[in-house]
Amino acid sequence: MIDSSIPMAITTGKYGHFAKEAQDLADYYNLPFIERNNKGIDKLLQLHDLKALLVLTEDGLAAYSLGQKEKLRFHPGMAVPRMRLAKAGQQEPLLKAIEPQEGMRVLDCTLGLASDALTVALAIGEEGRVFGLEASPAIYIITDYGLRHYLTANKAIAQALKRITVQNENYNQFLPACREKFDVVYFDPMFDHGLYKSQRINALRPFADYSPLMPEMVRQALNLAPKAVVKYRQEAKLNLEFDEIIKGNYSPIAFGVCYRR
Q: Is 157 in contact with 136 (CB distance < 8 Å)?
A: no
For residue 229, what pLDDT is reported? Answer: 98
Task: Please state, in angstroms and rounded to a whole number, the distance separating the CA atoms of residues 186 and 90.
Answer: 22
For residue 137, what pLDDT is reported? Answer: 96
E strand or H helix that includes residue 246 = strand 244-247
pLDDT at 197 over 60: no
pLDDT at 52 over 90: yes
Q: What is the mean pLDDT of the chain?
A: 90
Task: Please state, in angstroms and rounded to a whole number, the distance separating the CA atoms of residues 188 and 77.
Answer: 15
Average pLDDT in the 64-68 region? 91
Paired sense of beta strands 253-259 and 244-247, if any:
antiparallel
Greater pLDDT, 114 or 14? 114
For residue 221, what pLDDT is reported? Answer: 98
Average pLDDT in the 90-98 region? 87
pLDDT at 217 over 70: yes
Task: Please state, in angstroms and rounded to a whole number, the distance separating the CA atoms of residues 228 and 187.
Answer: 8
The domains of the chain are located at 8-67, 79-259
SS percent in the chain: helix, strand, coil, step 5? 35, 20, 45
Q: Which CATH number fits domain 79-259: 3.40.50.150, 3.40.50.300, 3.10.20.740, 3.40.50.720?
A: 3.40.50.150
For residue 102, what pLDDT is reported? Answer: 97
Task: Read off the pLDDT band of 250 (50, 70, 90).
Answer: confident
Task: Please state, in angstroms and rounded to a whole number, the distance separating the CA atoms of residues 62 and 31.
Answer: 15
What proportion of the chain, given as a percentage, has pLDDT over 70? 92
pLDDT at 253 over 70: yes
Give the three-class secondary structure for 4: coil
Task: Read off the pLDDT band of 50 (50, 70, 90).
Answer: very high
Kindly write down the DSSP assignment for every residue of 109-147, as one continuous string.
Answer: SS-TTSHHHHHHHHHS-TT-EEEEE---HHHHHHHHHHH
For residue 198, what pLDDT is reported? Answer: 63
For residue 92, what pLDDT is reported? Answer: 86
Task: Please state, in angstroms and rounded to a whole number, the distance separating the CA atoms of residues 224 and 179.
Answer: 8
For residue 144, what pLDDT is reported? Answer: 98
Bridge partners, 254 (sequence order):
232, 247
For residue 233, what pLDDT is reported? Answer: 87
Spacing of C-alpha 221 from chain mean position:
18
Task: Please state, in angstroms and rounded to a whole number, the distance separating the CA atoms of residues 98 and 231.
Answer: 11
pLDDT tens readout for residues 110-163: 999 999 999 999 999 999 999 999 999 999 999 999 999 999 998 999 999 999
E strand or H helix that includes residue 100 = none
For residue 109, what pLDDT is reported? Answer: 98
pLDDT at 172 over 90: yes
pTM of the model: 0.92
Task: Please state, in angstroms and rounded to a whole number, the distance separating the CA atoms of residues 166 and 121.
Answer: 13
HSE of 121 in the Cβ direction (CA atoms, 13 Å)? 26
For residue 174, what pLDDT is reported? Answer: 98
pLDDT at 195 over 60: no
DSSP state of 7: -
Average pLDDT in the 192-205 region? 67
